[in-house]
Amino acid sequence: MRTMRRRQADEWTLILSWNLIWALALFTGVSGCGPVPAAIAPSATPLPRLPTLFLPTASPTPSPENTVTPACDLGSIETVDIPTSHLPAAVHASVYLPPCYQDHSQQRYPVLYLFHGLNYTDTQWIRLGAPRTADRLISAGEIPALIIVMPYDPSSQEPTQYGFAQAVTQDLIPAVDSRYRTLPDRLHRAVGGLSRGAGWAIHLGLTRPDLFGAIGAHSVAVFGSDGMLVAGWLAAIPPGSLPRIYLDMGADDGGLASARLLEGMLTADDIPHEWHLNSGSHDETYWSAHMEAYLRWYTSGW
C-alpha cells in the first residue's frame, strides 16, 4: 500500500492552474475587492431583499397590530481586513452572517472557510450564490445556520512561495473566532474551495487537521509543490482525526486526471471520502449548479 502511495505521489509533477472562463453577474449591492482598508473595520452589506407584500386593510392608516413585520430570513455580508505579518497587506475577507445573527445574541455558529479560484476574488463565492443558497436552506430549516468566511488570495504562487497559509491559520481564523460568535473547534470548522481554492482546501485541511474537521475540494487543482506531500500528510493524521473529505469534478474538466489521482490515493489508503463525477466542465456554471449540494454536505456534520 505504501509502495502504491509512493508511486502515485511521484506522478504529481505538475498540476496546472486554470483561468476560470465564465463570469456571472455580480449580486446587487456587493462590491468587488477594491482597495484594502488598513484596519479591521467591517462594513455590513445586506443581501438583496425582495419587497414585503402587505394585504389590504380596511383602515387607511396601519396600526401596530396590523402592520406586517418582515421575516428574519436574510443574512448579511461584512468585509474585514485582518493585519498580518505574513503578507505585504492585511488579509481581506467577505464574511456571511446567517439570518437573525444580530437577534440571537447567545447563539454560536459553525464556520465554513471558502477559497476562490485563480484570478478571482473573495466575491466569487457570493456571485455563485453561496449566501443566497444558505439563506434559503437555513430559513427552510434544512441546514443549520452557519458563518461563511471567504478570504481573498492575492497571489498565483505556490504555498511555499508566500505566507498566505500562515496568515489564514495564525491571523484570520483567530480574528474571526474573536470577533464573531463562532464554535471555535475543528469539529465545527470546515474548509473548502474551487479550482485553485480547492488546492488551498487540501493544503490547509491536511496540514492543519487540528483546525479543520471537513475538507471540500471542488474541481480540485492540487498545488504542484503539494503533490508529493499529500500521501505523507494523510499518513501523519491519526485515524480518529481524519477530516471528512468531499471531492467533485465535471466529466469534461481538463483536470480530471489529476483529481482521479488524488481520489485513487484516498481509496488505496482506505481513507473515507466522497467522490462525485458530474456532468459539466471547469466553470462557474458547474459550481453554481452544485452550490446547494456543497452546503448540504458541509453542514451535514453539524
- Which homologous superfamily does the CATH classification assign to the domain defined by 70-300? Alpha/Beta hydrolase fold, catalytic domain (3.40.50.1820)
Residue 287: which of 121, 144, 117 has the closest Cα?
Answer: 117
Residue 285, pLDDT > 80, answer yes
Torsion of CA 91, 294, 219, 21, to 10 degrees: -70
The one-letter code for the residue type at 299 is T
Alpha-carbon distance of 15 to 18, in angstroms, equals 10
Predicted confidence at residue 62, as pLDDT, reads 42
Task: Check residue 70 and report its DSSP letter.
Answer: P
What are 151-186's pLDDT values in tens digits? 999 999 999 999 999 999 999 999 999 999 999 999
**Radius of gyration of the chain measured on its C-alpha atoms:** 20
Per-residue pLDDT, 73 = 80
* 35: Cα within 13 Å, side-chain hemisphere: 3
Return the closest-CA partner of residue 182 out of 107, 121, 245: 107
Residues 115, 193 contacting (CB under 8 angstroms): yes
**Residue tagged 503539494 (cell numbers):** 226
pTM above 0.85, yes or no: no
* Burial annotation 64-99 (CB, 10 A radius, 16+ → b, else e): eeeeeeeeeebbbbbbbbbebeebeebbbbbbbbbb
Q: What is the pLDDT of residue 57?
A: 35
Q: Tell me which of 16-30, 64-78, 239-253 is least confident.
A: 16-30
pLDDT, tens digit, for every residue of 230-278? 999 999 999 899 999 999 999 999 999 999 999 999 999 999 999 999 9
* DSSP state letters, 107-165: --B-EEEEE--TT--TTHHHHHTHHHHHHHHHHTTSS---EEEEE-----S-GGGSSHH
pLDDT band at 71 (very low <50, low <70, confident <90, very high): low
Question: Angle, to 10 degrees, between the axis of helix 130-139 and the axis of helix 291-300?
Answer: 60
Question: For residue 59, is pLDDT > 80?
Answer: no
Average pLDDT, the chain: 83
pLDDT, tens digit, for every residue of 105-138?
Answer: 999 999 999 999 999 999 999 999 999 999 999 9
CA–CA separation, 265 and 45 (whole Å):
42
Instruction: Please tell me the predicted confidence (pLDDT) of residue 136.
Output: 97
C-alpha distances out from residue 132 to 32, 42, 249, 258, 288, Å: 17, 20, 23, 32, 11
Given the DSSP bridges, would you call strands 214-218 and 189-194 parallel, antiparallel or unpaired? parallel
Predicted confidence (pLDDT) at residue 18 exceeds the cutoff of 80:
no
The total of other beta-carbon atoms located within 10 Å of residue 52's CB is 9
- Per-residue pLDDT of 219-241, as tens digits, reads 999 999 999 999 999 999 998 99
Say whether pLDDT at 51 is over 50: no
**Domain extents in the chain:** 70-300
